[in-house]
Amino acid sequence: MFNRRNKVRKMKKIFQWEEYLNWRKMSKEQKLNFKRACLFPFLVYVVYVFLNQYSISILLLLGLYFLIRFKNRNKLRR
């Protein structure tokens, strides 16, 4: 049923905390991935603050855009 004899799969490591503790032995790609993972919460915070401040303005602009688009669509059909 399962063909286990043919191929040996190379497993991708997801939780690499032991490897992240040894910075000197890490490859450049692992270092870059670690830096991205550490900076991601800061990016999320910046986006959260921006949306928290300007969400009402963004919704009003989108509503105005769709209202104008809807009115112009009805004028073209006549």
pTM for this model (two decimals) = 0.55
Q: What mean pLDDT, rounded, does the chain reach?
A: 84
pLDDT at 40 over 70: yes
Contact residues for 1 (Cβ-Cβ < 8 A; gap 6+): none
pLDDT at 71 over 80: yes
E strands in the chain: none
CA 65 to mean position of chain CA atoms: 27
pLDDT at 1 over 60: no
Using DSSP, state whether 11 is helix, strand or coil.
Answer: coil
